[in-house]
Structure 1
């Protein structure tokens, strides 16, 4: 099957058993994200018959250990123009064309599906969207100056529910603006997803890495302001050195909850954040969770009302959790640990600090009209790094902007009870698995559910 040309996509709109193929103007792959300072079927009626395609061979597979070409027949690209529930396997081998484009404000459910593409896998504006039990693979774009596309790139969201998906080698989940009605229960939920190797590394036309990257995140909010009921929880995010290129894993860029309903970021497991060349990159600025990113001097536009608790953040290089701007943000009850080494055992030259509180939009030790009422307390931190002589030391906290006069409080944080080693990091993964078992939570795609659906 050939990829859609620059001026054509496949528009599949299924009503009962009618499938139409229409020409459409392509949707641009790019969103409106700034460079961050540090981000068909009607239910039960029809099943699309999938046509086997012979996919192009990547010069460099993003996920060579589990190549998405195996075991699935793909159609697409797909353009959704009316609400309904969609199940199938869709692809786009053109980085400018999403595997799925959503062009309706009606409720859309994508479930039990496989997606792959050289650009964005799911793209839409003004969406009322649920994505569940779906696997997405980011492919090498094979285009000079591009990086793998996002699993989901949505803007002006009306309602969003993203649960139990598996993302491999994509550039993550991106949400730009919320235009729904919180009072009626519309909100954003990103729950129980398994996200592996978030990749913003640029390639050239032959698919080879250029040594540069774009700032992408596993989960990125951009200007999602004043939204009640938002929850980012029970996600498992892992990044491997030299197989990924992420900035922060979770980033709240000028985004906020409400005074009555803070954004809830809790019970996530985050392991790893690395630059393009992790053995040499001392200037890498990424990490685990970033709050208040991009907040300036306008209170109406700054980030705020976010709670971060009960997360496990492991070896995310520059920082574990950071408050870089904003107000009414609480960080508590988290486990934050790093041995200061790469998984290979080599020293990580960009290992820096467990938690920092630093207003990066102003003088760190002066009062600011947008940086106040933030708190960091009761976290367990063991963040090791190495000096020039190779001696290990700990840098658990750096809080120059934790000024009591502004209502900022940093207290009762505990140092890791034993010397931090790579065993400490591995023990956190075991703890995470036990925690999920006790809570009866399962992350990522339920393969049995997909197989059961395929058999019907």
Structure 2
């Protein structure tokens, strides 16, 4: 069902909430005067919220007025402690509303909150109560019909073979879930009763109903062009959209749901002998994605966008949830000047890299793969100009997400005269929970991996490679909060500048969430324990971290929570064996409490910067 996802702030004190909207309707008729009847649609819009519900929160939506042609802007207020706010309105036939009209509700940006997944909830006006269908790529999820006033279900019959045979409708739902039926072949009609001939059949050439999304099957793209629509794949081996061309492909206003990969663009897979200029050339704007729930044995994590071997990438104003995010790895095959990478204004919600329970030896029953919000890796020594990975927003809820590094840059390179920019990103929560890992001679230990932003150069051999390592990257003005590991890291890279980043963590302030994930008592969990580091993570080599800098960083970190010790502060920088020191660090005062209010205030300051720069984050 279409829904809105916002980040909302009340006025004082500040509270954060995720808000979504659902819609429902009823067709009613009443007697105005004896023998004169009036029909109307009663529409109900329910606003829901989760997260912190302790404060009042007012949001504003614009909807169609009862009088056709007008619109009304209505504020709705969640009372403190409540998680639902509703309103209903009647749309009368006498006021100009007709069958086929739609009643729309759109959430509006307001003071103190930002809409990060704009959408529109619509209700179809249908005074005739005609049969309605929900059809997804020729497969029936449910066929729904609503009898007209005074009629009963048994008055209807249906066919799935284009009127060759008819079956009675015995309930309000025709239960055909999972049945493959060609479009147009499912029909419902009013039965012939006595001498009355059967009514005309309503066919399944269109989706009707309240806020129903119609999905097409997987899409394979073999030629350039502009593509839009809704595509879904429930097969882990089949992406929702598969790009198999080096032509320019523009995915605009696309929505994908996927068992594993939303948008796959592995041009090298289809063309093993690639030459210069042969690779993926992709633009994604206003693309929405959702990883489907894990079913059966999933051996690789779900991924929103997965790209290998590329010429030029432009990924902006996208939104995804419940999977790993935007991944682009492999050789850069652009022209070295105008061909580049632009990943900005995207939103990732609940980065989730869990696999199947069947594969797991981990503590909460799920296996993991390393997955990220944004992954840029393995350029094989090629240097990419004018890279922008800026102004992206990530939020991962504890217990609903599972990822490693939030932004991972591994063996990827900008240019000496054009450093790659990883700047002004909002990264909150990482939620890579402890699990049992077998290593070091078969010993089992609790293990946690990953930071908010990591620039690294792992390799198969114990030899540092200046020609292929991560290099020429600026990591500046990012806000990282509540990672349950470190926040910023440089590991075996060169010419990486980390400047003016902020690392804030309240550690175990939310003890109930942290300690009871998956039913596991993690009271000794050493979460949120690092600020930033720069060290030889892979090689014992003096070239490691050459030309790197960590300066003007801000730290406010609670070390961890233990029942015997309470809260401990740990604003640390680890220089490893490089003996490199950070420059001019800043620390929140020791007496300042670092709690949810601290985190929320920092988040609000980030959104204020967004507003000051006239930016739109998420889907436009």
Normalization by structure 2: what TM-score?
A: 0.58
Question: How big is the shift at 1:87?
Answer: 0.8
Q: Give the direction of change, closer, same or farther, for the CA distance of 1:206–1:306 in structure 2 (3 Å limit).
A: closer
Checking the alignment, whether the CA contact within 8 Å between 2:534 and 2:545 is kept in structure 1 is no
Partners of 1:75 and 1:104 lie apart in 2 by 21
Give the TM-score taking structure 1 as reference length: 0.77
- 1:18 match: none
Q: Does 1:308 align with 2:475?
A: yes
CA distance in 2: counterparts of 1:362 and 1:222, whole angstroms = 19
Give the CA deviation at 1:277. Answer: 5.2
**Counterpart in the other structure of 1:319:** 486
Q: State how far apart, in whole Å, the 2-side matches of 1:445 and 1:256 are.
A: 29
Query: 1:358 — aligned with what?
Result: 535
Cα shift readout 1:129-162 (whole Å, capped 9, x = no counterpart): 0001011011124131435421111100111010
Higher relative contact order (CA 8 A, sep 6+): 1
Contact 1:298 1:370 in 2 (8 A): no
Alignment of 1:56-455 (within 5 A): 71-124=212-265, 125=267, 126-146=279-299, 148-204=301-357, 210-224=365-379, 225-276=382-433, 283-294=447-458, 296-341=463-508, 343=510, 346=514, 349-363=526-540, 367-386=541-560, 388=562, 389-401=564-576, 403=578, 408-417=580-589, 418-446=592-620
Asked if the contact 1:251/1:293 (under 8 Å) is kept, the reply is no
Runs of 5+ unmatched residues, structure 1: 1-48, 59-68, 447-456
Distance in 2, matches of 1:325 and 1:53, equals 51
Secondary structure of 1:202 counterpart? coil
Query: Given the superposition, is the C-alpha separation of residues 276 and 378 from structure 1 closer, same or farther in structure 2, using an over 3 Å criterion?
Result: closer
Cα root mean square deviation, aligned: 2.8
Q: In 1, distance between residues paired with 2:492 and 2:282?
A: 30
Deviates more, 1:140-149 or 1:103-112: 140-149
What runs of 5+ residues in structure 2 fail to find an aligned partner?
1-134, 143-176, 179-209, 268-278, 436-444, 516-524
SS at match of 2:607: helix
Q: How many residue pairs end up in the alignment?
A: 381
Name whichever structure is richer in strand by fraction.
2
Question: Contact 2:536/2:578 (CA < 8 Å) preserved in 1?
Answer: no
Report the Cα offset of residue 327 of structure 1: 0.6
Out of 140-149 and 104-113, give the one that drifted further: 140-149
Q: Radius of gyration: which is bigger? A: 2
CA apart distance, 1:212: 2.1
